[in-house]
Amino acid sequence: MQFPIKKFLSYYKPYLKMFLTVLGCAFFASTLILVFPLLVRYVTKDVLAGELSTVMDDVFWVGALMLLLVALQNIGNYIVDYKGHEIGALMERDLRSELFAHMQKLSFNFYDKEKTGQLMSRISNDLLLLSELYHHGPEDYTKYLVRFIGGFVILFFINAPLTIAVFCILLVLLILSVYYNKLLNTALKRNKERIADVNAQVEDSLGGIRVVKSFANEGIEIEKFNRENDRFLESRRKTYWTEAVFYNISETLIQLITVTVVIIGSTRIIHQTLDLADLITFLLYIGFMVEPIQRLTFMSTQFQEGITGFQRFMEIMNLKPAIENSKNPITLDEASGEIEFRQVTYRYDADLNNVFENLTLHVQPGEYVALVGPSGVGKTTLCNLIPRFYDVTDGEILIDGENVQNIDLSSLRKNIGTVQQDVYLFAGTVMENIRYGKPDAEDEEIITAAKHANAHEFIMSLPNGYHSEIGQRGVRLSGGQKQRLSISRVFLKNPPVLILDEATSSLDNESESIVKDSLEVLARGRTTIVIAHRLSTIRNAQRIVVLTRDGIAEQGTHDELLARGGTYAQLYSKQFEFQV
């Protein structure tokens, strides 16, 4: 993939004036440094060559000039250091905001394949390293390029043959740098992948810490973590080896430059083609030219880490959401709730079998429909197609006669409320979690929604009522309490279409009874599709649809299906026997 240089540079645009100011100060401060050896040369070659008793004024004048240069240089360096870091931080913020916003647009099938820890690594570590390149890179390259080129030009005028000899050694170093930079780029990219794997393992293990401890499997998790940690260590070793070889070759060549200058310079002094003052000046400038080379390893590492971070950033940014609005989407203001599946076929990937095919189902506005069937036949998948969490492979789904693919995604999903078995609550207060259903809701609306969900009583028993912190994923609440908060959110949202995905299957009898009452209140006047594991909970459904691997096997009321003695009757009989 060709590196998108135009995109890379575009992030400077909002801060271009500040950035150019920083580069100007870097150029100015580096230029001032080049004056110091010339002043030393002037003192040693011209001032001290005269009558020593009369040169003190010249020496003091040069000293005062040096102090002025030091002050100006430090002012420039202060601006470079402070404003440069500020630019880096601003650009990092912009990149992180853009990446996070883009991740919010990506569809379920992306998150089905990606690990959270790896995505966190891209949004934190990668962008931090990229911001370092954005602000340090141009500053350092400007600073050291000025010193190197300026020093080279000055040395060339002092003594061209000696300068060319030094340049030949630098050319060898440059060629080696290009080669080892390629090795470093590969090694650093591998490091990022390995640390992302470590992050993913940490996120997975800590996220399931209760399961880990309940099975006493801490040792297994430690072993899994150590395996990923060791892989990261191995990748770091290869990086360190490359850096060590590069660094030592660089140091050897740099030392060779000093040896060359001393030997050739001394020979020329003996042959009176170079004087001592010029040799001293030469050695001072060599120090300025060597400093960029000594920093080359760090700068190369910084460059490669930043470029690799940007490439990984663009890998995500170049991903197009699988689910997007059509060119001229229809806004669905207030749906009546009619849902129709027409010859719908769906599979998750091209190389996988169809979950179902040619499925047809019509749900009337306000109808209460239950979906039942063995695990794995696609009940949840079928419901996920309605709000377009996934798109059909073939066929079409209509709401109020409009194909869902032609409806604006936001308006489509605002008309659909979902209560799932696996409730997700955000870290924060009860009030904040319920308000998620309607961000602009007043406190009174939230309390009313909680009362409808039979949640108000337990909320008021919490230490701070609606302002009580519930912890990460609501760990301070019971399963029934968490479920009632999720139902409160949907009450607040007040959608015309409701999907209940085994919302009570994981609860105890008492909690199930309370939640079931809340769901019955919630379902009134709405088109409701219930995915039920416990068949006893959907006896009163207006219609029960039995889904099997071959599609819809039968549909009807509870009594009709039992009398028919088909698939539903068999499922009901087995479940009843099991419960007994």
Which among 299, 301, 296, 294 has a CA at the least distance from the CA of 255?
A: 294
**Whether the predicted pLDDT of 536 surpasses 80:** no
Q: What is the 3-state secondary structure (H, E, C) of 434-479?
A: HHCCCCCCCHHHHHHHHHHCCCHHHHHCCCCHHHCECCHHHCCCCH
Alpha-carbon span 221 to 205, nearest angstrom: 7
User: In residues, how long is the chain?
Assistant: 580
Residues 6+ apart with CB under 8 A from 313: 95, 99, 122, 126, 127, 130
pLDDT, tens digit (0-9, with 9 covering 90-100), for 295-349 = 766 777 788 788 888 888 898 898 888 888 888 899 988 888 899 999 999 988 8
Query: Which positions ≥6 away from 220 have C-beta within 8 Å?
Result: 212
Express as a percent the part of the chain with pLDDT over 90.
21
Residue 504 reports pLDDT greater than 70: no
Residue 578 clears pLDDT 70, i.e. is over it: no
Lowest-pLDDT range, 29-33, 309-313, 315-319, 533-537? Answer: 533-537
Q: At residue 121, what is the residue type? A: S
Instruction: Give the distance from CA 159 to its chain's centroid.
Output: 54
Stretch 410-426: mean pLDDT: 86
Query: Which one-letter DSSP state was computed for residue 330?
Result: B
Residues 435 and 233: their CA atoms lie apart, in Å, by 45
pLDDT higher for 88 or 112? 88
Q: Residue 243 and residue 483: Cα distance in Å, rounded?
A: 54
pLDDT band at residue 576 using 50, 70 and 90 as cut-offs: low
Report yes or no: 567 and 553 within 8 Å, Cβ to Cβ: yes
- In the chain, CATH 3.40.50.300 sits at 330-415+498-508+531-580, 422-494
- Average pLDDT of span 28-53: 79
82 vs 444: CA distance, rounded Å: 48
Q: Pinpoint the residues of the chain covered by CATH 1.20.1560.10.
A: 5-317
* Three-state secondary-structure class, residue 14: helix
75 vs 59: CA distance, rounded Å: 25
First to last CA, the chain: 62
pLDDT over 80 at 97, yes or no:
yes
Q: What is the dihedral of CA 193, 198, 202, 208, to 10 degrees?
A: 70
* Beta strands 402-403 and 394-399, pairing class: antiparallel
Query: Does the structure show a pLDDT above 90 at 543?
Result: yes
What is residue 415's DSSP assignment? Answer: T
Written as one letter, the residue type at 401 is: G
* SS3 category, 107: coil
| pLDDT reported for residue 208 | 79
Return the pLDDT at 363: 92
- Token pair for residue 534? 């416990």
| pLDDT value at 455 more than 70 | yes
**What pLDDT is recorded for position 444?**
92
Flag whether pLDDT at 501 surpasses 80: yes
Instruction: Identify the pLDDT of residue 25.
Output: 93
Angstrom CA distances, 569 to 89, 315, 578, stand at 64, 51, 14
Query: Which tokens belong to 431?
Result: 């009030």
Give me the numbers of helices (H) and strands (E) for the chain, helices first please. 20, 10
User: Distance between CA atoms of 449 and 454, rounded to whole angstroms?
Assistant: 9
Sheet holding 368-372, edge to edge: 416-420, 497-501, 527-531, 368-372, 543-548, 551-556
Q: How far apart are CA 160 and CA 164, in angstroms?
A: 6
Q: Which helix (H) or strand (E) holds 251?
A: helix 218-270
pLDDT at 580: 40
Q: Is 118 helix (H, G, I), strand (E, B) or coil?
A: helix
514-524 tens-digit pLDDT:
777 777 777 88
- The CATH architecture of the domain made up of 422-494 is 3-Layer(aba) Sandwich (3.40)
Of 267, 290, 293, the C-alpha closest to 279 is 267
Mean local confidence (pLDDT), 109-120: 80
Residue recorded with tokens 């939230």 = 446
Q: Which superfamily does CATH assign the domain made up of 330-415+498-508+531-580 to?
A: P-loop containing nucleotide triphosphate hydrolases (3.40.50.300)
**Nearest-angstrom CA–CA distance, 351 and 356:** 15
Angle at 376 between CA 373 and CA 378, to 5 degrees: 75
**Cβ neighbours around 60 below 10 Å, total:** 10
One CATH from 3.40.50.300, 3.40.630.10, 1.20.1560.10, 3.30.70.660 for 5-317:
1.20.1560.10
pLDDT tens per residue across span 201-230: 887 888 778 778 777 788 888 998 999 899
Instruction: Please report where in the chains the tokens 């801490």 appear, as a residue.
Output: 218
Tell me the mean pLDDT in the region 134-139: 88
